[in-house]
Amino acid sequence: MGEELKTFNEHQADVRNRANSLARAVFLLSGGTLSLSITVFLSHRDLFFDFSALLALKLSWWVLFLSSSLLVVTLTLIIVRDYRLGERWRLALGGVNVDASGIPGRLESWIWGLGISGLSLFIVGFLLQAHVATSVLDAAMK
């Protein structure tokens, strides 16, 4: 049982590291995309935007902001979940009769739902940014 627990803990640590890497990448790309697009599109007022490109640009900024926000909430919930589990373990190790099994509950559902939503919004926002960039290039080529 000791070796299985060690393997399980290593697996969980690996999953957390991958989740953190993914979140950092999304934050970096979202923040960079927002900063760059806001700077470019506000400093070049002579760029032509048709209605759909302007709508996509505004929508992409909101979607990327929401994506980052949801991922921050997701990471916060992961910390809360892990803290609560650690406290239950501490109590159980101290002889208190508490459930320290770590069986997924409602909080886990929220974590997955918000995480998947945040990642999906990031993809949508990134695609909207690509649409705007190609629309501006198309207009400039005319």
The count of C-alpha atoms lying within 13 angstroms of the C-alpha of 43, restricted to the half-sphere facing its C-beta, is: 6
| pLDDT digits 0-9 by tens, 38-57 | 887 777 766 667 888 889 98
Give the pLDDT score at 120: 96
Give the pLDDT score at 73: 94
Cα separation of 34 and 11, whole Å? 34
71, 117 Cβ separation under 8 angstroms: no
Cα separation of 4 and 6, whole Å? 5
Cα separation of 10 and 16, whole Å? 10
Segments of the chain with pLDDT less than 70: 1, 5, 45-48, 100, 140
Q: What is the DSSP string of 58-104?
A: HHHHHHHHHHHHHHHHHHHHHHHHHHHHHHHHHHHHTT-----S---
Cα separation of 100 and 87, whole Å? 9
Give the pLDDT score at 63: 95
Return the structure tokens found at 88. 């239950």
First to last CA, the chain: 69
